Structure 1
Amino acid sequence: MRPNCSSSSACPANSSEEELPVGLEAPRNLELVFTVVSAVMMGLLMFSFGCSVEIRKFWAHIRRPWGIAVGLLCQFGLMPLTAYLLAISFSLKTIQAVAVLIMGCCPGGTISNVFTFWVDGDMDLSISMTTCSTVAALGMMPLCLYLYTWSWNLTQNLTIPYQNIGITLVCLTIPVAFGVYVNYRWPKQSKVILKIGAIVGGFLLLVVTVAGVVLAKGSWNSDPTILIVSFIFPLVGHVAGFLLAFLTQQSWQRCRTISLETGAQNIQMCIAMLQLSFTGEHLLQMFNFPLAYGFFQLLDGLLIVAAYQVYKRRARNKLRMGRPGCAGVRHDGTLRGVNAVLEGTEETSATPDSLEPEGLRAALKPVGHIPSCE
């Protein structure tokens, strides 16, 4: 799907910097620093999350990739279809509809790993899903784009950013591999690294998002339709991913993980594909969508994390207050019982009823050192 051109100045591959719209221009040194800092930050972030990966659990996901398969179905089935339906429903211009569709066909972004950690999700599944969706994007991106754009009669061919996909894979696999090794050799130290990485990573992702918007501030326009679509799109992804995981009888922990992985797209890959495939004139009309999507994606993730943390705290407080006479002896077991239900591990998968107080109390019964207070 690469444009067939040789020396024409209209070809994106031959266009110079002077042809970019004023709003997309940035000082070369500042842009280089931003790129390098982002790459280093992402590498350190994935290293810290790699410290949460256990080889046994990770290998179990590879051997029985049911969770990964559901995630890939969400990523390259639900998201491109949602993008196409949104473009048709809102009667977007062809150039804008293509930007929305490209975003829907991109693999999962690493921001989902940060959010997964803060909602007690399955980090092994999250990292394996991000890696597998990036590998699958080599074939699924061109396939999905061909299927959904063949009726649009595009005059501009689309260029898949294979180099960008390769760089993303390197930034994922190498730091994660080092993190897995550290977790294997020094499990206590790896927990400290993971906590620090999650806090610093969340803050740096916010900084990078703001910096990216500032670097391309001239690309924003006042088109409310694009803003509405960029607001709805990640929300639909989160909800659809959660529902499909629930319908396929995944644990609550996996449902949360797949939901976040589905709604979080690789913004950098979408921007790279737009830059490779379109001229500066077209970019000015398309660039605002990935930036708006990135902003709402970050906002949605923060809201989901906040809602989960509030719910988790209330569940713990209810269990602590449930039997005042046993508060002292039940404290540790209560926290363990709540975590067992909220995590929804394979051994103690939660049902919808188990999220209620009675179900949570039932989940505490197997904890051996909790005395009966009847």
Structure 2
Amino acid sequence: MVGPFEQAVLTAILAVVMLGMGAAMTPRDLGDEVRRPRALLLAVVGQFGIMPLTAFALARLLDLPPAQAIGLLIVGCMPGGTTSNLYTYFARANLALSVVVTIATTLTATVLTPLVLLLYGGALAEDIAVPTGTVVASLVLLVLPVLLGLWVRRRTANLGATLELVGSVLGVLFIVLLMVTWVPRNWQLLVQSPWQVYAGAIGLPLLGMAAAYGYARVLGLRVPDRRTLALEIGIVNGPLAITIVLLSFTGALEQEVLLLPALYSLFVVLTATVVTIGFRRAHDRAQQRIPELL
């Protein structure tokens, strides 16, 4: 499904993306969010509470085969990705919070992702053991570029900004490379996949964003922060999920587990775009009403 060369290229691209993620956060951003950490803490709790539970419930509801159910669960247990930062920017939500949450969930994923995988994995597929040791090792290795990016941004702001831009561009390139290489080669598999597989890939981000927005609203967060949490929690790091699957499984099992992370990475671009347009229009309407109230 994905050859050794492609796997190496995708892993290298992901490492640069994670480097850019770290370089995206300035000390000022960190200070602002640490001084009012409520939204940040709620986002981390929501990331590893809402998405794994949503993935687990969807896998059960759609009665997915064990390998595909595990693939969907792995996606749901991932931290936020840099793509959410781009959508937050276009939605006119809280970009600083989005960046800080992305990095915070990535760092905490080294502990929380294996825990939620263990919590839900056995109930979904008793015969498929998720190699948590490999998951932890993969996350730790991919967290190192984030820390390096933070250090670079602190030392050299211009270089940090360049790394941030490069990381964002390569994040898009990852999806493009997936579409160009993986989709044509596995076209027959995609055609033969039942509707439940597509429902899982499309439903996970949509339900995750809806649940996260409701969660933030119930807890009294401001509207921009609600939108930020919806995008940040619902748009997880699909490329990281793909990399972990490639490093954790082999052969035919790898192909089955990889299907949902690959489809999620493809469809989340469309689902997040629709949600972002809705948020942006709501923001613009609110801005237009402000002069009328003065």
TM bucket by the smaller chain? 0.7 to 0.9
Superposition deviation, residue 203 in structure 1: 5.3
2:196 to 225, 230, 246: 225
In structure 1, what is the equivalent of residue 105 of structure 2? 133
CA distance in structure 2 between the partners assigned to 1:165 and 1:255 by the alignment: 27
Classify the secondary structure of the residue corresponding to 2:130: coil
Q: Does 1:36 align with 2:42?
A: no
CA distance in structure 2 between the partners assigned to 1:233 and 1:82 by the alignment: 7
Cα separation, partners in 2 of 1:202 and 1:130, compared to 1, 3 Å: closer
Q: After the TM superposition, which residues 88-103 of structure 1 pair with which residues of structure 2 at under 5 Å, given as runs?
A: 88-103=60-75
Superposition deviation, residue 85 in structure 1: 0.9
Cα separation, partners in 2 of 1:244 and 1:139, compared to 1, 3 Å: same
Q: Does 1:162 align with 2:136?
A: yes
Q: After the TM superposition, which residues 310-349 of structure 1 pair with which residues of structure 2 at under 5 Å, given as runs?
A: 310-312=281-283, 315=285
Equivalent residues of 1:131, 1:169 under 8 A apart: no
The one-letter code sitting in structure 1 at the alignment partner of 2:63 is: S
Superposition deviation, residue 307 in structure 1: 3.6
Cα separation, partners in 2 of 1:356 and 1:207, compared to 1, 3 Å: closer
Q: After the TM superposition, which residues 1-374 of structure 1 pair with which residues of structure 2 at under 5 Å, given as runs?
A: 23-25=1-3, 28=5, 31-44=7-20, 46-47=22-23, 49-50=24-25, 53=26, 55=28, 57-152=29-124, 154-160=126-132, 161-179=135-153, 204-217=170-183, 218-219=185-186, 220-221=189-190, 222-223=192-193, 224-312=195-283, 315=285, 355=286, 358-359=289-290, 361-362=292-293, 365=294
Superposition deviation, residue 89 in structure 1: 0.8
CA distance in structure 2 between the partners assigned to 1:278 and 1:130 by the alignment: 26
Equivalent residues of 2:227, 2:279 under 8 A apart: no
1:100-146 deviation line (CA, Å, top 9, x unaligned) = 11111111112112222222232332222112212222222222122
CA distance in structure 2 between the partners assigned to 1:309 and 1:129 by the alignment: 21
RMSD over aligned CA atoms reads 3.0
Cα separation, partners in 2 of 1:303 and 1:177, compared to 1, 3 Å: farther
CA distance in structure 1 between the partners assigned to 2:87 and 2:264 by the alignment: 16
Equivalent residues of 1:25, 1:216 under 8 A apart: no
Cα separation, partners in 2 of 1:171 and 1:201, compared to 1, 3 Å: closer
Classify the secondary structure of the residue corresponding to 1:157: coil
Classify the secondary structure of the residue corresponding to 2:172: helix
Q: Percent identity?
A: 24
Gaps of 5+ in 2: none
| Bigger-Rg structure (1/2) | 1
CA distance in structure 1 between the partners assigned to 2:222 and 2:37 by the alignment: 14
Cα separation, partners in 2 of 1:25 and 1:168, compared to 1, 3 Å: closer
The one-letter code sitting in structure 1 at the alignment partner of 2:93 is: G
How many residues align structurally? Answer: 287
Cα separation, partners in 2 of 1:203 and 1:307, compared to 1, 3 Å: farther
Cα separation, partners in 2 of 1:155 and 1:109, compared to 1, 3 Å: same
CA distance in structure 2 between the partners assigned to 1:179 and 1:79 by the alignment: 30
CA distance in structure 1 between the partners assigned to 2:118 and 2:17 by the alignment: 34
Cα separation, partners in 2 of 1:159 and 1:216, compared to 1, 3 Å: same
Gaps of 5+ in 1: 1-22, 316-354, 366-374
Superposition deviation, residue 250 in structure 1: 1.0
The one-letter code sitting in structure 2 at the alignment partner of 1:24 is: V
CA distance in structure 1 between the partners assigned to 2:155 and 2:275 by the alignment: 31
Q: Give the structure, 1 or 2, with the largest relative contact order (CA under 8 Å, sep 6 or more).
A: 2
Equivalent residues of 1:125, 1:257 under 8 A apart: yes
CA distance in structure 1 between the partners assigned to 2:217 and 2:131 by the alignment: 36
TM-score (norm 1): 0.67
Superposition deviation, residue 72 in structure 1: 1.6
TM-score (norm 2): 0.83
CA distance in structure 2 between the partners assigned to 1:232 and 1:153 by the alignment: 21
1:146-171 deviation line (CA, Å, top 9, x unaligned) = 22233346223212322321233223
The one-letter code sitting in structure 1 at the alignment partner of 2:173 is: V
Whose helix fraction is larger, Structure 1's or Structure 2's?
Answer: 2
Superposition deviation, residue 282 in structure 1: 0.9
